[in-house]
Amino acid sequence: MKRIGVLGSGKGSNFGALAEAAREGKLPVKIALALTDVPGAGILDLAAKYRIPADYVPPGAFRTKLSPEAEREYARRLKEAGVELVALAGFMRMLKPPFLEAFPDAVMNIHPSLLPAFPGLESWKQALDYGVRFAGCTVHFVTPEMDAGPIIAQAVVPVLPHDTPYTLHARIQAQEHKLYVECVKLWAEGRLRVEGRTVAVSA
Amino acid sequence: MKRIGVLGSGKGSNFGALAEAAREGKLPVKIALALTDVPGAGILDLAAKYRIPADYVPPGAFRTKLSPEAEREYARRLKEAGVELVALAGFMRMLKPPFLEAFPDAVMNIHPSLLPAFPGLESWKQALDYGVRFAGCTVHFVTPEMDAGPIIAQAVVPVLPHDTPYTLHARIQAQEHKLYVECVKLWAEGRLRVEGRTVAVSA
């Protein structure tokens, strides 16, 4: 069984979706390690519940990225755990080329918008403010540019007339949980192939 | 019956969809005038077929906008025809504030992408190159910024594994024709209200 690692900074609802799917036998991977840059992040409690090894690893002095030393330490811990795919689940720091080159075409992220629309923070709020009629989520391979890597899959979510940021975000998250499991499963089955900036999915 | 005008630079497939819906009684407007900036544009033949008054009006010396004199002439002709809504149908020039202020919240455009993704030319090709899984089209009110005005409605179209620019564009255009008729109908029924940068649709 392929081994994956998860990085998260928050409560870890996408991590929970992956862990639950793996536990139920619907996702043929072993989550070998979860790491967080936030002491006491919910993702640690969730890892304990699913008996997944997990740890807080200090991120260093920067706010939006890991320090080079911290990034090496994250990569070292993941490699040591035999991780072949790193799934970002609400990890709030940019990853740099040395980390990405350690896991080529094997760092995945899920973003709560139909990229390339609304990269960055609180995409669901950006979508409401813009007035789009459809929002959604995107799973993509991570490249050094934020929220811009090759797209693996997307799901569309309607924006309803009386949506608030809360209701829209909840509707997107429900799709995120399904989409992320599907994408990691496609990867585990060896069905994803990055071709330039697009991703081919084999049958 | 409300009177609308159409501006187009090409073959006018969206103009054709509006004209056909009006002829069939499915769209309660009278298309009072069609104008083009391109001598011999297909839209002129289509207008003749539907017996809609139509004319070529010289655009002036610029390539991406009308000259101020030309813009005044377009507005004058549309006003003279009693037009209350101007629908752009493949009109390849930007309209400036004097024109837009002559038709406040009453210049509509249809764009072949899920805006704000892929503004500009050949959006379907941009979408394929980017590798998105969903494309679509957007009807919006026109503001001085290209493809950025308040969104009235959108339709989603899947991108299929073996799509070419041609097949994807055709799939988007089929949705465009339906969506544009729906939006002009909502306008004719007085159900659209611009609120800041979003559009409320009343029941």
Same domain, residue pair B92 and B49: yes
- pLDDT of A122 reads 96
Q: Compute the mean pLDDT over every residue in chain A, rounded to the nearest whole number.
A: 97
The total domain count for chain A is: 2
Q: Look up the CATH number of the domain holding residue A32.
A: 3.40.50.170
Same domain, residue pair A115 and A188: yes
Distance from CA of B165 to the nearest CA of A (A): 15
Is B156 close to A150, i.e. CB distance below 8 A? no
Same domain, residue pair B42 and B124: no
Same domain, residue pair B202 and B138: yes
Of B117, B136, B150, nearest to A116 by CB-CB distance is B117
Is B151 close to A136, i.e. CB distance below 8 A? no
For residue B81, give the nearest of B103, B53, B101, B102 by alpha carbon: B53
- pLDDT of A201 reads 97
For residue B3, which amino acid is it? R
**Rounded distance between C-alpha atoms, residue A75 and residue A7, angstroms:** 11
- pLDDT of A31 reads 98
Same domain, residue pair A10 and A92: yes
Same domain, residue pair A191 and A128: yes
Same domain, residue pair A124 and A94: no
Q: What percent of chain B has pLDDT over 90?
A: 100
Same domain, residue pair B161 and B200: yes
**For residue B25, is it left (φ>0), alpha (ψ between -120 and 50) or beta?**
left
Q: Which residues pair with B138 in a beta bridge?
A: B111, B154
The last residue of one of the domains, among A104, A131, A162, is A104
By CB atoms closer than 10 A (0-12, 13-18, 19+), residue A1 is exposed
Q: Compute the mean pLDDT over every residue in chain B, rounded to the nearest whole number.
A: 97
Is B197 close to A130, i.e. CB distance below 8 A? yes
- pLDDT of A26 reads 97
Which structural domain, as residue segments, surrounds residue A78?
Answer: 1-104
Distance from CA of B122 to the nearest CA of A (A): 16
SS3 of B102-115: the string is HCCCCEEEEECCCC
**Residue B97: band (very low, low, confident or very high) from pLDDT cuts 50, 70, 90:** very high
Count of Cβ atoms closer than 10 Å to residue A193 Cβ: 11
- pLDDT of A116 reads 98
Is A116 close to B114, i.e. CB distance below 8 A? no
Which one of A105, A133, A143, A162 makes the best mutation probe of the B interface by having the most chain B beta carbons within 10 Å?
A133
B95 and A CB contact within 8 Å: no
The last residue of one of the domains, among B104, B128, B159, is B104
B116-172 pLDDT, tens per residue? 999 999 999 999 999 999 999 999 999 999 999 999 999 999 999 999 999 999 999
A128-138 pLDDT, tens per residue? 999 999 999 99
A162 catalytic residue (yes or no): no
- pLDDT of A153 reads 98
- pLDDT of B76 reads 98
A160 and B CB contact within 8 Å: no
Residues from chain B contacting residue A115 (CB–CB below 8 Å): 117, 132
Same domain, residue pair B74 and B139: no
- pLDDT of A120 reads 95
Cis peptide before A39 (omega within 30 of 0): no
Same domain, residue pair A116 and A98: no
**Residue B173: band (very low, low, confident or very high) from pLDDT cuts 50, 70, 90:** very high
Q: List B residues 4-43 in contact with A (Cβ-Cβ < 8 A).
A: none
The last residue of one of the domains, among A59, A84, A104, is A104
Closest residue in B to A117 (Cα) is B117
A26-79 pLDDT, tens per residue? 999 999 999 999 999 999 999 999 999 999 999 999 999 999 999 999 999 999
Same domain, residue pair B169 and B98: no
- pLDDT of B109 reads 98
Of A114, A131, A161, nearest to B197 by CB-CB distance is A131
Enter the ipTM: 0.94
Same domain, residue pair B54 and B96: yes
